[in-house]
Amino acid sequence: MAIQSDTKPLLEVKNLRIEFPTRRGVLTAVDDISFDIMPGEVLGVVGESGAGKSLTGAAVIGLLEPPGRIAAGSISLEGQRIDNLPYEKMRQIRGRKIGAIFQDPLTSLNPLYSIGRQLVETIQTHTDMSESQARRRAVELLADVGIPAPERRVDQYPHQFSGGMRQRVVIALALAVNPKLVIADEPTTALDVSIQAQILDLIRKLCKERNVGVIIITHDMGVIAETADRVAVMYAGRIAEIGPVRDVIKHAKHPYTHGLMGSIPTIGHDTEKLTQIDGSMPRLTDIPRGCAFNPRCPKAFDKCFVDRPELIQVEQTRAACWLYEKEAVHG
Amino acid sequence: MADAALKQPAATGTEPVLKAHDLARYFDVSPPFLNRVIEGAPRQILKAVDGVSFEIQKGRTFSLVGESGCGKSTVARLVVGLYTPTRGALQFEGQNIAGLTRKQMVPIRRKMQMIFQDPYASLNPRWRVVDIIAEPLRFFDLTSGEAATQKRVGELLSFVGLSPKDGLKYPHEFSGGQRQRISIARALATRPRFLICDEPTSALDVSVQAQILNLMKELQRELGLTYLFISHNLAVVYHMSDDVGVMYLGKLVEVAPARTLFVKPRHPYTKLLLDTIPDLDMKGEERAPVAGEVPNPINPPSGCTFHPRCPFANDRCRAEIPQPIAMPDGAKVACHGVEEGRIPA
């Protein structure tokens, strides 16, 4: 779907910083990140564990767990700030305007209630439908997410569904009251590969049909390649590179993205040795000065150890890397 | 990082390191006796592994792939003797190892070691790394004296890319990738010839996964190790394997050299699995949507267990269990459709 440049972004995140106060000082888990999402757009957020991708999602949906807190920046949905709303106000937006899909479908569903009851409750909380209308809507939703015999299945309990079917129910819950934005945090990590493809297709199809913006948070580049329009690659709490999926995957600009792509084995490419990024991501307590990637970067030079790079436009993508500083100045 | 002391004598002959014939393991998952009597509930048998045959040649990597519940980890546990087989034969270096007692297994355990999936759960958090790695050395009495043990642990640590000084730390001080290196060092302590690796990288981030896969390949080359590699990640399997077996509901549906299997999959299930691999080349090819899920293994479908999901299934597939058939290029496929030539290549 082509995104018109004159439409206003659905979600705008500006200079977001998330901090955790600890006894040994304040840890900055997400540091000054900005991105936006257009209606109907799928943004992938990818990174290794500890990169801050899930925290970013949690902040957007207002479910950041204390002591974590938004220390700076703003999050706006349809032009309205949502990062500083009181709890009750945010609870209405969550569910009504923002839906969520989490990794483990078994923990997202209440085992004691039939899925019909959970759907009806969600629908009635956010709309003024009657019980029977809500139930009809629940059956429709189950049919939309591809559950066979929805009239019968609606009265069953979560344990009577397989993993893939449960995740479909969670998707139905997330889309129950036509939200504008869906946040999917590792939606297929707990599923088998053959089911994973079905679920990703479903999320993408339903959201495109309904013009819902989606943030897919994952560690798996394959998931991003399959579903996202744009991708943000996170490293040590910052966005290392952001741009259209094709450009980031095929022509990665940031040395981290480049190394990450090379470290994924691909079928049909015979290599004895995978590209290896030595070391691992720094802990929050000792993020190096300058570019956080500098100890692992094969191309690091003087400046990288001193100053922190901001995102610079490089061809189709933007990368936070000093290698491209000159191009930006002259081009 | 050559280590002459760890090297094995060169391969002799073509005797397979491991040979499994009609290997099976059933689990009794019946309701308790009283329920069976009162409710008339029948006995229920879960056939986790049901008649699996394969061979692994020296110095090669044989991989098992399949979705959760297909029995691939059960095969690994059968091979190391954590389960006794319900049926079938298992030979390690020509010696039968199926149904040996714990005591009889001891000398065999020295020669085959296992690397587990979760490096957080497989290392004792209360032990220092040096003791974790020294445990097999002490158990098998492989070194003479404490000084020699310490020296050997140091060697092993540097061998997997850690520093000998790291031995004094506890597991929690290491990242996931480093812990997996410790597991590998522990597995190598007894100078095994055969390693069973059950999803060794699936708990790791991709950049760390690459480090571990590279290390495992390097070790294999240097020490002439043989691997039984278990993974659900097809790309990792392609990268690591010489031969691949695809499992579905406790049976091997296709066994073939890796290059053959990935270029020319024959069994409809193998094709389905290969179709689900995300396309990182971004060729923009539309993938055929895959329908259905793995059925409940307690009540598997009749005949070929894949028939409810198979687009080529006919009456014979629903009734008769297919047997593996050897193909001219070395592949073995258990499929009536392939046998009859009605499935397009």
Distances (CA, A) of B124 to A128, B119, B156, B172, B188: 55, 10, 18, 10, 17
Contact across the interface for A266 and B207, Cβ inside 8 Å: no
Mean of pLDDT values over B258-285: 82
Residue B6 pLDDT > 60, yes or no? no
- Are both B116 and B200 inside the same structural domain? yes
Give the residue among B158, B177, B74, B188 at the shortest CA–CA distance from B120: B177
- Are both A223 and A261 inside the same structural domain? no
Residue B8 pLDDT > 50, yes or no? no
* Cβ neighbours of A162 in B, within 8 Å: 293
- Are both B74 and B133 inside the same structural domain? yes
- Are both A180 and A266 inside the same structural domain? no
- Are both B111 and B215 inside the same structural domain? yes
B111 touches chain A (CB under 8 A): no
Q: Which residue has the higher pLDDT, A40 or B9?
A: A40
Segment A64-86, tens digit of pLDDT: 888 899 999 999 999 999 988 99
A275 vs B210, B290, B291: nearest CB: B210
What pLDDT shows up at residue B283? 60
Among A207, A228, A249, give the residue marking a domain's end. Answer: A228
Q: What is the mean pLDDT of chain B?
A: 87
Dig out the tokens for A112 from the structure. 């004691």
- Tracing tokens 């949507």 back to the chain, one arrives at B289
- Are both A89 and A214 inside the same structural domain? yes
B271 touches chain A (CB under 8 A): no
Asked whether residue A307 is assigned to any structural domain, the reply reads: yes
Dig out the tokens for A49 from the structure. 């564990």
pLDDT confidence bin for B148, thresholds 50/70/90: very high
Give the residue among B161, B176, B78 at the shortest CA–CA distance from B123: B176
Mean of pLDDT values over A48-54: 88
Segment A300-310, tens digit of pLDDT: 999 999 999 99
What pLDDT shows up at residue B289? 58
How far out from the chain centre does Cα B158 lie? Answer: 26
B247 touches chain A (CB under 8 A): no
pLDDT confidence bin for A275, thresholds 50/70/90: confident
B45 touches chain A (CB under 8 A): no
What pLDDT shows up at residue A107? 81
- Are both B223 and B136 inside the same structural domain? yes
Segment B11-38, tens digit of pLDDT: 445 679 999 999 999 998 888 888 888 8
- Are both A107 and A175 inside the same structural domain? yes
- Are both A208 and A280 inside the same structural domain? no
What pLDDT shows up at residue B12? 46
Phi-psi region of B15 (alpha: psi -120 to 50; beta: other; left: phi over 0): beta
Give the residue among A40, A17, A13, A38 at the shortest CA–CA distance from A29: A17
Q: Minimal Cα–Cα distance from A159 to chain B, Å?
A: 14
What lies within 8 Å, CB to CB, of B139 at 6+ separation is none
* Cβ neighbours of B216 in A, within 8 Å: none
Q: Which residue has the higher pLDDT, B259 or B290?
A: B259
Dig out the tokens for A284 from the structure. 């929050």
* Cβ neighbours of B274 in A, within 8 Å: 267
Q: Chain A residue closest to B215 (CA)? A: A273
* Cβ neighbours of B293 in A, within 8 Å: 162, 164-165, 192, 194-195
How far out from the chain centre does Cα A249 lie? Answer: 17
Query: Other C-beta atoms within 10 Å of A244: how many?
Result: 14
B214 touches chain A (CB under 8 A): yes
Contact across the interface for A264 and B68, Cβ inside 8 Å: no
Q: Chain B residue closest to A266 (CA)? A: B235
Segment B236-250, tens digit of pLDDT: 999 999 999 999 999
What is the domain-level CATH number for residue B142? 3.40.50.300
Asked whether residue A97 is assigned to any structural domain, the reply reads: yes
A274 vs B210, B272, B287: nearest CB: B210
Mean of pLDDT values over B180-202: 93
pLDDT confidence bin for A311, thresholds 50/70/90: very high
B286 touches chain A (CB under 8 A): no
- Are both B153 and B225 inside the same structural domain? yes
How far is residue B345's CA from residue B271's CA, in Å, rounded to a whole number? 10
User: Number of folded domains in chain B?
Assistant: 2
Domain that holds residue A297: 257-331
- Are both A308 and A220 inside the same structural domain? no
- Are both B219 and B265 inside the same structural domain? no
- Are both B133 and B208 inside the same structural domain? yes
Segment A234-246, tens digit of pLDDT: 999 999 999 999 9
How far is residue B152's CA from residue B132's CA, in Å, rounded to a whole number? 13
Residue B285 pLDDT > 70, yes or no? no
Domain that holds residue B161: 4-232
B207 vs A192, A249, A260: nearest CB: A260
Most A CBs within 10 Å, among B178, B205, B236, B272, to test the A interface: B205
Asked whether residue A14 is assigned to any structural domain, the reply reads: no
Contact across the interface for B177 and A196, Cβ inside 8 Å: no
B299 touches chain A (CB under 8 A): no
- Are both A46 and A158 inside the same structural domain? yes
- Are both A92 and A138 inside the same structural domain? yes
- Are both A217 and A274 inside the same structural domain? no
Residue B111 pLDDT > 70, yes or no? yes
Q: Chain A residue closest to B216 (CA)? A: A273
What is the value of ipTM here, to two decimals? 0.77
* Cβ neighbours of B239 in A, within 8 Å: 265, 271, 274
Residue B77 pLDDT > 50, yes or no? yes
- Are both A103 and A187 inside the same structural domain? yes
Asked whether residue A331 is assigned to any structural domain, the reply reads: yes
Dig out the tokens for A96 from the structure. 């009504």
A201 vs B217, B289, B293: nearest CB: B289
- Are both B256 and B219 inside the same structural domain? no
- Are both B225 and B256 inside the same structural domain? no
- Are both B190 and B88 inside the same structural domain? yes
What pLDDT shows up at residue A328? 53
Asked whether residue A100 is assigned to any structural domain, the reply reads: yes
Segment B45-70, tens digit of pLDDT: 889 999 999 999 999 999 999 888 88
How far is residue A63's CA from residue A83's CA, in Å, rounded to a whole number? 10
CB within 8 Å of chain A, chain B residues 142-171: none
User: Number of folded domains in chain A?
Assistant: 2
Among B232, B262, B278, give the residue marking a domain's end. Answer: B232
- Are both A283 and A146 inside the same structural domain? no
Q: What is the mean pLDDT of chain A?
A: 89
- Chain A residues in contact with chain B using a Cβ-Cβ cutoff of 8 Å: 48-49, 162, 164-165, 192-198, 201, 219-223, 225-226, 245-246, 249-250, 259-268, 271-278, 280-281
pLDDT confidence bin for B175, thresholds 50/70/90: confident
Q: Chain A residue closest to B220 (CA)? A: A272
- Are both A178 and A284 inside the same structural domain? no
B211 vs A49, A271, A276: nearest CB: A276
Calculate what percentage of chain A has a pLDDT beyond 70.
Answer: 97
What pLDDT shows up at residue A116? 94
What is the domain-level CATH number for residue A123? 3.40.50.300
Q: Minimal Cα–Cα distance from A94 to chain B, Å?
A: 31
pLDDT confidence bin for B187, thresholds 50/70/90: very high
Among B232, B263, B298, give the residue marking a domain's end. Answer: B232
What pLDDT shows up at residue B284? 57
* Cβ neighbours of A192 in B, within 8 Å: 67-68, 232, 293-294
Q: Chains A, B: CB contacts under 8 A, how many?
A: 116
* Cβ neighbours of B210 in A, within 8 Å: 262-265, 274-277
Most A CBs within 10 Å, among B72, B221, B239, B272, to test the A interface: B239
Among A210, A228, A246, give the residue marking a domain's end. Answer: A228
A194 vs B175, B210, B273: nearest CB: B273
Classify the C-alpha dihedral A320-A322-A327-A329 as positive or negative.
Answer: positive
Asked whether residue A95 is assigned to any structural domain, the reply reads: yes
Give the residue among A74, A92, A100 at the shortest CA–CA distance from A11: A74
- How wide is the angle at C-alpha B207 spanned by C-alphas B202 and B213, nearest 5°? 60
Contact across the interface for A261 and B277, Cβ inside 8 Å: no
Among A228, A248, A279, give the residue marking a domain's end. Answer: A228
What pLDDT shows up at residue B5? 45
A219 vs B67, B205, B281: nearest CB: B205
What pLDDT shows up at residue A262? 87
- Are both B10 and B147 inside the same structural domain? yes
- Are both B267 and B221 inside the same structural domain? no
